[in-house]
Each structure stands twice: as structure tokens, then as C-alpha cells.
Amino acid sequence: MQLAAHQRKLLDLIRSGRVPDRSDDPYIQRVAASDDLKEAQRNIFLWRVYVLERTAPLTFTVLKQRELLRSAIGEFIGTCNVSPFRETQAPAFLDLMSRHDDSLVASVAQFELAFLRVRQGDAGHFVVRWNLEPTTILNELARGLPVSIDAPRGDYQVVISRELPYQFKVISPPSAHVAASPLENPTRCAVASLG
């Protein structure tokens, strides 16, 4: 077996846990059945959890609350060839979660990725669509509270730009009537918790 092919099979074992077939090298079969491989996979998973909980806190929290975290991190490990350096993990994870089937997870990840980019100096102007009122959701996630299941529905937009106060603003649909928050400035609370 050529070295490159051998390395790809080992990487595939680590990332996806695939079961080798009979045509695989005996060494690959031994590694696949080893406790050491399970320990390596567990360590990689825990490192991703550790990093993403700190670098993508809103998306991490919404995934955890919706009991989607384990599968989301498994998908991230299995499909993204990401450096172990923490600076590269959040953008790649948020990009992947921005396409999640759950529209709330996708909106939170899109917001967090745009906000991360703006905080790192991106001069872009980003717009994220939401089908739930985002101020309440973002505030709850930033404070570690359960997301409201009765948040007002509508066609909301969040504009993210470094030119805006607090670097983002929520645009409500014309017909939306959002109840006043008990906090004086919920937008500021969400932003303060992100950085």
C-alpha cells in the first residue's frame, strides 16, 4: 500500500469511524478494532467541544438546548478537515452550521459567523434572516437561558456591520409587535456576552 493511501485510510478511521472491509490492510483492521482509536476519537471530540463552547458560544448553546450538539460536532469532525488550532475551528464550524436544517440553528450560526468576522475587522455588511424575533433569542442564548418557544414569528433581519452601534441591529417586519424587554438594552447584553 502506498503511504498516502495508508494515511488517508487512517485519517478516515479517526474522523468517521468507518468499518474497514476485507480488502483493507491488516494494520488498518487492527487499528479500527483498537481501544486506542476510540480514545483518540473521544479526545478529538472533547477538544472540539472545549474549543467551540468558548469560541462559538451562541451556536453551541442553541445546539445543546435542542439536543443537536453531539451530532453537529460529529458531522463537523467527519466532514471538515480542520486544523487543531482553535482560531480556525469556530469559523469552519459556524459556516457548516449556517446550512443546518434547523432554521434557528442556521440563523444563530450565520449571525455569530458574521459577528465574528466584523469583530475581526471585516468591513462587510451582513444580513441574516430570522423567522423568530432575534433580540429575545440572542439575549437568552448570551445569558445561557433556554430559548423562548413562544418568541414572535415573522420575517426579521439582523444587519451586522462595524458601522452600527453595537455592530448589529434588528429590523422587524412592519407588522411585528415585539413586547418590551425587561432589560434596558437587550442588544447590548447579547453583544457584551460575545466578547
The 3-class SS string of the chain reads CCHHHHHHHHHHHHHHCCCCCCCCCHHHHHHHCCHHHHHHHHHHHHHHHHHHHHHCHHHHHHHHHCCCHHHHHHHHHHHCCCCCCHHHHHHHHHHHHCCCCCHHHHHHHHHHHHHHHHHCCCCCCEEEEEEECHHHHHHHHHCCCCCCCCCCEEEEEEEECCCCHHHEEEECCCCCCCCCCCCCCHHHHHHHHHC
Based on its alpha-carbon atoms, the radius of gyration of the chain, rounded to whole angstroms, reads 20
pTM: 0.80
- The pLDDT profile of the chain, 195 residues, written as one tens digit per residue, is 588 888 888 888 887 767 777 777 888 888 888 899 889 889 989 999 999 999 999 999 999 999 999 999 999 988 888 777 788 899 999 999 999 999 999 999 999 999 999 999 999 999 999 999 999 999 999 999 999 888 899 999 999 999 998 999 999 887 655 444 333 333 333 443 344
